[in-house]
Chains A and B, each alone.
Chain A
Amino acid sequence: MLKASAATRVAVLELALLVVFAVLPAALQEFRVVFVTRVMILALLALSFDLVWGFAGIMSFGQALFFGAAGYTVALLARDAGITSIFVVLPAALGVGLVLAFVVAAFLLLGRHPPSLTFVALGTLTGSYAADRLARGWYYLGGQNGIPSIPPMTAGPLQITEGLAYYYLALAVLVATYAACRFLVRSQLGLALAGVRINEARMAFFGYRVQSLKAIVFSVAGAIGGLAGGLYAFHEGFVWPNMLGVILSTQIVLYALFGGVGTLIGAVVGVVAIEIVSFVLADAYPTIWPIILGLLLLLVILFRPGGLISVLVPRRERIAVLGLARLGPPSAQAEAVDGAA
């Protein structure tokens, strides 16, 4: 929830980005169009993380689990059942993400004792890592190789190959998902979540089933992550264990953090910013660039925890931002919560 002025600014940004993405292919050579497509798919994944962390307060270090699981599923569908139709694989990817996320949420969040934040973080981290090891070890899934040579996605008789066709597909999916998320966070559910962010105990006393709310959001985010995974698999033409693993999971967290959590568009901005800078700098400084990235992220975390988007939307204008505590001794409730109406 944002104050009117901030909301307008964000809306302008959203519209501007939409327009830019819509016309970009006209200005780029094909190989760059492919790159931007990939960025958009990753933005989808970052969006899923922003949903759980920025809006539901769940630190999920395992979004790649849903991304990779859906990717592997569609790859198996293509390889073993010859199914590449977009009308089957995208819903399948969505479904896999949803179901898997629900299972994970049920295990981690529901139950008699609500879990600590750290446990959820570690639980998701472990899930991602364990899935990575499983895929790496299971030959049916290709083991270390993963599953290569995935045929292109089809829509009836047409093939959707990388390039313009896939670009607009990815853009359409991203816009649709973004709109859906936006709707979600401004709905009653979103309001309830805002309340949970400000004071979880109070919401529980009001009668809201806090853990169920979180589980719902987690499942939706998992579905989005899965969708991104399905798109990614067909775009890149192969899936492999790193799609499931910890490195990707934490990378997404950092992308979203860099852009600014809690505003949806921040996640997209973060991915775009880092990927473009990586693209430009990684070629010139391949060994130093990851170090620079790490330092950059550290600086953002320390000094501008609101991320890039905080340039447009100052933190105090956001409801319930989770961020750095004041400096001081550790205490039981460790999160600092900015309440702002």
Chain B
Amino acid sequence: MEGAITAVFEVLNFGAIMILVVLGLGVIAGMMGIFNFAHGEFVLLGAYTVYLFSVWALPIWLGMLVAPAVVAAIALVLERLVIRRFYAAPVIAMLGTYAIGLVIRESVRGLIGGLYRAVPEPLPGSFDIGAVHIARWRLSIVIVTALVIVGSYLLLSRTGFGLRVRAALENPSLARASGISTDRVYAATFAFGAALAGLAGALVVPVFSLSADLGIRFLIQGFLAVMLGGVGSFEGSVVGAGVIGILSAALPWAVAPVLADVLVFVIAVVLVRLWPRGLTAGRTV
């Protein structure tokens, strides 16, 4: 019984982080038609910011608040300078963003000396609910992520900004004709997606250590999640991330861990092949 509860908690945990990462990736993919291969590195940058805060002996939780902002700023600069040239050329975008990701990854690798670095948790320790042990920080991750997801949903569905974003997603030319500056919307969305990824990295770095290859793991699972859920919709991202999260977290309990690793990807690709437009095709925010 406690095994089942722990498993569910695991799934929630991993799923939550995945959703954060995938939301950003999915909205960018849906709106600008490009798959951002540097998205994993945004996660890395968020983690790195928090690491810096720990090295400079500043409060970690403050680092976690600052990280999304920092990553958003960097993303904005990248978008203005480079990324915007890739719109409407998805394959070149993949390559170009990969090159950007490479630069970021190797820069971080050089800065941390190529080693693995540990970052302490802001809320250490664990507590017990009956026979189940729950780490405080992991629970906090789930709570924070849930709040952010709800917040993002409200942002997209209830605010003026969200309205413009959805308009640009659905019909860019009509949106422009209606006076919406798609340029600005793209820039803002890209920054927003990056901020989410940065937050994911910041939240997760005390759990996994910081290393330059932190982002790659999230990238591929993120892509699969986006394609699985359906490109360009809020529900799509959540569903896709949810499926990947459940598969990743639940499979090791059922089969040998090494096999579970591979099965997640195989199953995901097969699912995408069967439902090319994603599991939530046809619906948008």
Contacts and interface: CB of A to CB of B under 8 A. Distances in A.
In-complex A–B contact (CB below 8 Å): yes
A330 B227 contact: no
B100 interface: yes
Interface in B209-238: 216, 220, 223-224, 227
B57 interface: no
A246 B216 contact: yes
A257 to B, nearest CB: 6
A329 B110 contact: no
B102 A297 contact: yes
A305 B92 contact: yes
Nearest to A247: B216
B54 interface: no
B220 A246 contact: yes
Interface stretch (A20-28, A131-139, A160-168): A131-139
A329 B82 contact: no
A254 B220 contact: no
Residue from B92, B98, B173, B261 having most chain A Cβ neighbours under 10 A:
B92
Interface stretch (B4-12, B45-53, B124-132, B262-270): B262-270
Contacts of B106: 287, 290-291, 294
If over half of B's interface residues share one DSSP class (helix, strand or loop), that class is named, otherwise mixed; here it is helix
Interface residues of A, number: 53
A279 B145 CA distance: 45
B85 interface: yes
Nearest to A61: B94
A126 B88 contact: no
B82 A294 contact: no
Given A126-B269, A290-B102, A291-B103, A328 B95 contact: no
A250 B102 CA distance: 10
B276 A116 contact: yes
A144 B172 CA distance: 48
Interface string A248-288: 00100110010000000000000000000000000000011
24 contacts: A59-B91, A113-B276, A118-B35, A119-B273, A121-B94, A125-B220, A126-B223, A126-B268, A133-B258, A136-B258, A136-B261, A287-B109, A287-B114, A293-B102, A297-B102, A298-B82, A298-B96, A298-B103, A302-B82, A305-B92, A323-B89, A325-B87, A329-B88, A329-B182
Interface of B: 32-33, 35, 82, 84-92, 94-96, 98-103, 106-107, 109-110, 114, 172-173, 176, 182, 216, 220, 223-224, 227, 257-259, 261-262, 265-266, 268-269, 272-273, 276
Given A115-B276, A298-B99, A327-B87, 20 more contacts: A107-B273, A122-B269, A123-B272, A130-B265, A130-B269, A133-B261, A136-B258, A137-B258, A246-B220, A257-B95, A293-B102, A294-B101, A301-B96, A322-B91, A329-B87, A329-B172, A330-B32, A330-B172, A331-B88, A336-B89
Nearest 10 A/B pairs, CB to CB? A137-B258, A294-B102, A294-B103, A290-B106, A287-B110, A330-B33, A298-B99, A130-B265, A330-B88, A297-B99
